[in-house]
Amino acid sequence: MQPNVTPRVAIQAEHTGHNRKDQLGFLRRRRFLGLSGMCIAGLAAGELHRNSYAAAAADALIATNTYPWETFARRNNENIELHTDHLLSDIASTGIRGYEPNIRSLTDFDGLQQRLSKHGLEMPSIYVNSVLHDASQSAQSMEQVLAIAERAVALGTTILVTNPSPIRWGGDEDKSDAQLQHQAKSLDVLGEKLRALGVTLAYHNHDSELRQGAREFHHMLTATSPQNVRFCLDAHWIYRGCGNSQLALFDAVEHYADRIVELHLRQSRGGVWTESFTMEGDIDYPRLFDVLRTRGIQTHLVLEQAVEAGSPSTLGVVEAHRVGNANLRSHLS
C-alpha cells in the first residue's frame, strides 16, 4: 500500500504546469495588447489621413475650362472672346478661382498675367491641342506645345492637358495601328520634355478614342511611361464613348487611377448634358470621389459643364457656373 502523500515529481509537474499557463496567458495578453495598439495606431493614422485629405479637398482650388463658356455663347448666338477682361470678370464672379484656358497661340498670353491678377484668378493648368499621329506634323506640333508651356510656366502653370487631335474633328475615320504607335511615342517624348520644364503632361480623350475597342485610349496609357504621361480623366467622355456606361467608366478608373492628376467634371441626365454641374446624375460622382479618396489620390478639379442640343435652357452662363461651383464645393466640404 502506497503512502497517502503526493509524490514530489507530481508537485513539481503541477507547479510547472501552472507556470507555463501563467506564461502563456501573459504572452497572449501582451500579444493582444500589442495588436490592439497596432489597430488603434492604424485607425488613428487612417483617421488622420482621412481628415488631412478632407481638409485638402475642402480647400481645393476649383477651376473652369473655357470650352463650356464657348458652348453657352453658341447657344445664345453670341460671340465670345477668350482670355479677356470681360470673361475673366464673369468667371471670378462665380466664386471659381482657377482658369484653364484653351491656348491656341502664343499671342493668347499677351496681357493675360495682369488680367488674371486683376480678377484674383490662378492658372494652374492649360489645355492645348496637338497633332501627334502624323509623322509629317508631330515634330512641329510638339515644338509649338513646348513653346506654349514655357510661357505658361511663368504664370504658375504646372499641368498641360492635351488631346491628340483626331484625323478629322467630327469625322468617323480611325487611326491606323502605325499612327497610334507614332502618336504614343510622340506623346511620351513630349511628356519627358515637359517634365524638364516642371510641367506635367496629362492625356485627355473625347469619345472617338473609345471606338474600335477603345484601342486609341488604351494604347496611349499603355505604351507611354507613367512618369511622362499622366491622365486627365474626363468622366463623361468615357461614359458617352462607351455607350453611356458607368461600368466602363469605373473600369477605366480601376486601370488608370494612379495616373490621374486632373478631373474634367460634367454631368448629364438621360444622356444629355445638364446646364449646371451636380454630383448626382448619369455619373455617380460621389462614388468616383470616394474611389480616389480611398486611394489617396488628390487631383486638380476643373468644371467643364458645357451645354448641347437638348440641354435645359433656364440659366445664364454665370449663374450656371455659380450653381455648379457651389454644388461641387458643398460636396468637398
Average pLDDT estimate for 161-187? 96
Residue 59 has a pLDDT of: 80
Could you read off the pLDDT of 249-304 as tens digits, one per residue? 999 999 999 999 999 999 999 999 999 999 999 999 999 999 999 999 999 999 99
How many CB atoms neighbour CB 240 within 10 A?
21
Average pLDDT estimate for 187-214? 97
Produce one character per residue of 139-149: b if its CB has 16 or more CB atoms within 10 Å, e if not. eebbebbbebb
Distance in angstroms (rounded) separating the CA atoms of residues 90 and 7: 98
Residue 8 has a pLDDT of: 38
Encoded amino acid at 175, one letter: K
pLDDT surpasses 70 at 44: no
For the domain bounded by 60-332, which CATH number is listed?
3.20.20.150
Average pLDDT estimate for 169-183? 96
Could you read off the pLDDT of 102-150 as tens digits, one per residue? 999 999 999 999 999 999 999 999 999 999 999 999 999 999 999 999 9
- Residues of the chain with pLDDT > 90, as a percent, come to 82
Domain locations along the chain: 1-59, 60-332
Average pLDDT estimate for 19-27? 50
pLDDT surpasses 70 at 76: yes
Average pLDDT estimate for 307-333? 97
Encoded amino acid at 49, one letter: H
